[in-house]
Amino acid sequence: MQETFAEPELPAILQQDRVALLERVAGSLHFKRAIRLREFLLYVGRHSIEDETAVIHEQDVGTAVFGRQRGYDTGLDNIVRVNATELRKRLELYFTTEGTNESLVLEIPRGSYTPVFRPRTVAADTLKPETTEVAQPAEPEKPVGTEISIPAISSGRKNYLPWTVATLLLAACTYLYWQNTRMQSELTPWKSTPALRTFWAQFFDSDQPTDVVVADTSFALAEDFASRKVSLGDYLNYNYKRLMEESDISQDRRADLGYVLERNNGSIGDFIVAKRILGLDPTATTLQLKFAREYSPEEIKTDSVILVGSEQSNPWVELFADRLNFSMQYDTEMHRPFIRNLHPEPGEQEFYNHPSDLPRREGYSIIAFLPDLSRNGNALIIEGTDSQATRSAGEFITNGASLEALRNKLGGGKGFPYFEVLLHNMQITGTPLRSEILAFRNESGITSPADTTHPANR
C-alpha cells in the first residue's frame, strides 16, 4: 500500500506583513516613476487588505484611479484593462529582480482586479529527504617511499604565460568594447548624429517619462458627421455622444456614428510617426506609447508628451493651442483642415490650404516644441493637414539633416530653443518626398522665410 502524506497547511499571513509588502513594492524602482500604476496598485492592494472577501470591479478602478465618471462604459473605455496588463508585468518583474528575497508574493490574477498575497513557493530541490549517514571506508595508508616529488622550475627560465594571457585579455576587451559600441550605435541611432543627439536627448536622457500619444480618428470622423467641433472636456467626459444625438443627422446615420465611436481607430501615418520615434531608441524605458482615448489629464500634467495628430483627431493638442502661432484648424462645412498663421511676418501668408483646393500631392504640417504643462519637461506636437503630411513632419523631426538645417535657421547654437515650424510637404502616391520650411518661430519670436528644401528620411 502506497504511503501518502498530507500537504502542510500554509501559515496565515498577518495584515501588517501584507501592508509592509505592498508599501515596499509601491516604493520600488519599478513603480517610482509610474505614478498612475502605483496609485492603481495601492488602491486595489489596500482594498484587498481591508476586506479579504472584497471583489474589485473595473469601473471601481476607472472611477477612483483614472477619474472616470461612475457608470462609464467599460466597453468603450479600456484604460483599466490596458494598465492592468502593465501592472501585472511590473509586479512579476519586481519579484524576479529587486524583490527576489521577499518571503511573500503579491499577484493580480488575470480576469480579476483583486490582489492575492501568498507565501513564496519553496523550490523543490531545496526540500531534501532525511538521510542516514553511511560510514565511508577508511582511506588506505600510503606505502612508505612512494611519494612523487615535482621538481621546481628553474628561476632562471623566463615565464611568458602571464604576458600571453594579459595580451589575450586586452585583445578580448578591445573587441568587446568595439562590439558594444557598434551595437549601441545600432540600437540608439539618435546618438550617432549631432543634431538628433542634441534634440532627442531632451526626451530620451530625462528621468521624466515621455508619453507618445497617437490620435483617435474615430473622434475626428464623429466631428465630420456632426459638422461641429467637440472640446477636450466633452471628449474626456464622453459628452460628445450626447452632442452627436443632438446633431441634425438622420437616425440611420446616427446609428452608423455609434458604430464608429465604439471602435478605437488610428491613422497609418500617425503610427508610422510613432514607430520612427520609438525606433530612435528601442532601449529607452521612459517612453510609453499611448492612445488618445486612454490618456488621462494626470499623465499629461506630470509627464513629457509627444502628441501625434491635429486637434481634430487628438483633442489633447487643445491644451497647448493658446501658446501656438501656427494653428491647425478645420472647416466643418468643407470638411477640410487648413492652417492659420495668427501673426504673419513679411513674406508669410495668413492662411495655408484654404479656401482653394490643394493638389493631393501636396500638404502642410506643423511641428511645435515647447514646455510641457508643468514646465518641468517638454512637449512636442506633430500634426498635418492629412495623414501623409503628419508622416512627413515625423520624418523631418527624426532626420539628422533636416534637424541640422532647422537648428541653423534657429540661430545655429549648440542646443535647440523652443520653436514652431511650418512645413510644405510634397508627396507622390501617398509617400512623402520632401519637406520645405515655410516659416518658423523660436522662443525669441524670430522668423525667417524659407528658400531651402530638405530631403525627408526615407
Q: Is the pLDDT of residue 152 over 60?
A: no
Angle, helices 194-204 vs 400-409, to 10°: value is 90
Who has greater pLDDT, 370 or 358?
A: 370
Q: Is the pLDDT of residue 242 over 70?
A: no
Judge whether 103 and 120 are in contact, CB under 8 Å. Answer: yes
In the predicted model, what is the mean pLDDT of residues 158-185? 67
Q: Is the pLDDT of residue 147 over 60?
A: no
Predicted local confidence at residue 360, as pLDDT: 58
- Give the chain's radius of gyration (CA, Å): 31
The per-residue pLDDT for range 366-388, each reduced to its tens digit, is 999 999 988 888 999 999 988 88
CA 303 distance to own-chain centroid: 11
Check whether residue 326 and residue 197 sit in a common domain.
yes
Q: Is the pLDDT of residue 453 over 70?
A: no
Check whether residue 90 and residue 212 sit in a common domain.
no
Predicted local confidence at residue 124, as pLDDT: 36
Check whether residue 79 and residue 209 sit in a common domain.
no
Task: Please indicate, yes or no, if residue 299 is contained in any of the structural domains.
Answer: yes
User: Among 90, 119, 148, where does a domain finish?
Assistant: 119
Please give the sequence-ordered ranges of beta strands (E in DSSP) within 278-376, or none if there are none.
287-291, 304-308, 326-331, 336-341, 351-352, 362-371
Task: Please indicate, yes or no, if residue 155 is contained in any of the structural domains.
Answer: no
> Mean pLDDT, the chain, as a whole number?
78
Q: Is the dihedral of CA 13, 19, 20, 26 positive or negative?
A: positive
Task: Please indicate, yes or no, if residue 184 is contained in any of the structural domains.
Answer: no
Predicted local confidence at residue 182, as pLDDT: 52
Task: Please indicate, yes or no, if residue 352 is contained in any of the structural domains.
Answer: yes
Please give the sequence-ordered ranges of beta strands (E in DSSP) within 33-144, or none if there are none.
104-107, 116-119
Predicted local confidence at residue 7, as pLDDT: 43
Check whether residue 310 and residue 405 sit in a common domain.
yes
In the predicted model, what is the mean pLDDT of residues 35-49? 91
Check whether residue 287 and residue 399 sit in a common domain.
yes
Check whether residue 438 and residue 297 sit in a common domain.
yes
Task: Please indicate, yes or no, if residue 131 is contained in any of the structural domains.
Answer: no
Q: Is the pLDDT of residue 454 over 60?
A: no
Task: Give the chain's domain count.
Answer: 2
In the predicted model, what is the mean pLDDT of residues 416-424? 94
Q: How far apart are CA 419 and CA 440, in angstroms?
A: 7
Predicted local confidence at residue 450, as pLDDT: 36
Domain containing residue 96: 15-119
Task: Please indicate, yes or no, if residue 372 is contained in any of the structural domains.
Answer: yes
Who has greater pLDDT, 341 or 205?
A: 341
Closest CA to 387 of 231, 291, 271: 271
Region of 206 please: left (phi>0), alpha (psi -120 to 50) or beta: beta
User: Among 102, 119, 136, where does a domain finish?
Assistant: 119
pLDDT band for 76, please (50, 70, 90 cuts): confident
Instruction: Give the range among 90-104, 331-345, 389-403 with minimum mean pLDDT.
Output: 331-345
Q: What is the reported pTM?
A: 0.58
Task: Please indicate, yes or no, if residue 325 is contained in any of the structural domains.
Answer: yes
Q: How far apart are CA 78 and CA 142, in angstroms?
A: 79
Query: Which of 140-149, 286-295, 319-328, 421-430 is modeled with the greatest confidence?
Result: 319-328
Check whether residue 210 and residue 317 sit in a common domain.
yes
Task: Please indicate, yes or no, if residue 170 is contained in any of the structural domains.
Answer: no
Buried/exposed code over 363-394 (b: 16+ C-beta within 10 A; e: otherwise):
bbbbbbbbebeeeebbbbbbbbbbbbbbbbbb
User: Among 119, 144, 171, where does a domain finish?
Assistant: 119
